[in-house]
A and B are shown apart, each in its own frame.
Chain A
Amino acid sequence: MASESPGRREDASSGKSFDEVYAYDATGSLAGMTHAGADGVQLALSGVDHTARPTWKLNETVEFYRDILGLPLVHAITARGWGPPGHHDFLHFFFDAGNGATIAFFYYIGSDRPAKYEPESHHFYMATHTAWAVDTEDDLIRWKETLERRGVKVSPYTKHEIIESIYFNDPNGYPLEITRKLRDVERIDEVDARLTLDAAMQVEAECRARAEKMPDIEAVWRRKAKLVDDYRRAG
């Protein structure tokens, strides 16, 4: 049972500053945090509710998501400011992406897009993206061919290790991906992910101690060889 009853929970709208409302901490420090294994509480999530990004193109965004992609516009919020001082009046609106998930946008009234929010043709920028799931290969092909008929520029198919994807951009420049699973994730994938990240984290820590950047992925692959060898022997 929750220790705080709903009526007694602190309400973010009473926050007096941006940092308080959004629990913002610019340091990124983990100091003072404890691990999930330490308190015996097993938390669980049930998928994505929504992702959200700012837009300075209200008309194009609605036309693209609702009219061109055909995602239902299912919810919209309008507000005059919001809690902390300096907040713009805004619209916040949501398009249905299936399975209970939505993709949402904020339109901050009277604001100009800061230069750092301009889209860039660079993998750092593309890393922040939304990937939607489809169930079958036929579904993926249907999305690609239909979007292309509707005039959307869509990438060729890319087969990664366990997913196959197509990519395109919205009118804000935000990268979108539609993907299908090529196979289920198995227990050995989880083991392999742990060993890969263990190797990479070890290399990162050692490089940091020498005030160096990680040199290349080969450094990770070489450490991984040691960890996999140990793992195989232990079995």
Chain B
Amino acid sequence: MIDVYVLDVPEFHPLIEASRGVAEVTIDGPQQGYWRISAPTELRFNRKAMKMKPAVWYGIFTGGLNGEIAEWGRDEVRVIGTNRPL
């Protein structure tokens, strides 16, 4: 299972909006100021689709990431599950 934690502030809201309605992706929160986006095997984010500026995009997982970054680019990020301890 992959979990991405997102601080409930305007600059990171695009992560939540982009994850709504995506197959197998669940969104929980905000609880104590954090949303949690979860998926069983893979999560993808696209910068341009989220209309995110690069300076914020390069910190999109600053809320916390339980997963492993498989692809990391200027416009596309892919996260996969991992059993590594946090």
Contacts and interface: CB of A to CB of B under 8 A. Distances in A.
A161 B59 contact: yes
Contact of B55 (A159, A223, A231, A234): A159
B62 A188 contact: no
A43 B11 CA distance: 33
B11 to A, nearest CB: 5
B40 interface: no
Interface string B24-57: 0000010111101000000000000000010110
The B interface, classified by DSSP as helix, strand, loop or mixed, is mixed
A223 B29 CA distance: 20
A130 to B, nearest CB: 19
A158 B86 CA distance: 32
A229 B64 contact: yes
Interface stretch (A8-16, A18-26, A118-126, A189-197): A189-197
Category for how many chain B residues contact A: 20 to 34
A221 B64 contact: yes
Interface string A196-235: 1001000000000000000000100111111111011011
Given A229-B3, A235-B31, A189 B65 contact: no
Nearest to A218: B69
B61 to A, nearest CB: 5
A232 B36 contact: yes
Contacts of A221: 61-62, 64-65
A195 B32 CA distance: 13
A149 interface: no
Interface string B64-86: 11101100000000000000101
Give the top 9 A-B pairs by smallest Cβ distance, nearest first.
A225-B64, A235-B32, A188-B33, A226-B86, A224-B64, A221-B65, A225-B66, A228-B64, A228-B5
